Amino acid sequence: MNEELQSANEELETMNEELRRRSLELNDVNGFFESVLLSVRMGVIVTDEQLRVVVWNREAEDLWGLRADEVEGRHLLNLDIGFPVDRLRDPIRACLSGQSRREALTAPAMNRRGRAIEAQVICTPLAREDGIRGIVILMEQRETPSVAG
């Protein structure tokens, strides 16, 4: 009985060590992914196939005034931001269906500071080997020239 317990204990220790190693690897990958998102100077929004927000980077927070924890898990087209999200419906459909690898549009919007801007948007499919898993949306603002009177 003692030998069986010792053997089981050694097996558990081996499994724990493997779990620790994999956890460290996952932390490294998450850190790398986070640094990529921080380095991109555009709003990055990633959704799943049902258009629920999975990733909302700091640039998107700054642009639209909503924090990641306020939008993650919510349907993209139901968000109340200063951008006319209904304009994304057709480009997203084209990407999700595999009809298009890239859709771009520019639309008038209002940033979180209440300033009129033109938002440039690029939608691409979030592709994996087994198919399209969602949408990657890049957004950046161009300030609308003020009208001199």
Are 76 and 125 in contact, with CB atoms under 8 Å apart? no
Residues 6+ apart with CB under 8 A from 36: none
d(CA 56, CA 46): 7
Q: Where are the domains of the chain?
A: 1-39, 41-143
For residue 49, is pLDDT > 70?
yes
For residue 88, is pLDDT > 70?
yes
Q: What is the pLDDT of residues 6-27, one digit of tens each?
A: 999 999 999 999 999 999 999 9
DSSP 52: B
Note the pLDDT of residue 122.
97
Handedness of CA 54, 59, 65, 68 (dihedral sign): positive
Confidence of residue 149 (pLDDT cuts 50, 70, 90): very low
Give the helix, strand, coil percentages of the chain, each rounded to 5: 45, 30, 25
pTM over 0.75, yes/no: yes
Confidence of residue 145 (pLDDT cuts 50, 70, 90): low
Mean pLDDT score across all residues of the chain: 91
d(CA 76, CA 63): 15
For residue 77, is pLDDT > 80?
yes
Note the pLDDT of residue 146.
58
41-143 has CATH 3.40.50.12780 classification: no
Lookup: tokens for 97: 């269906």
Question: Hey, is 82 helix, strand or coil?
Answer: coil
Residues 6+ apart with CB under 8 A from 127: 133
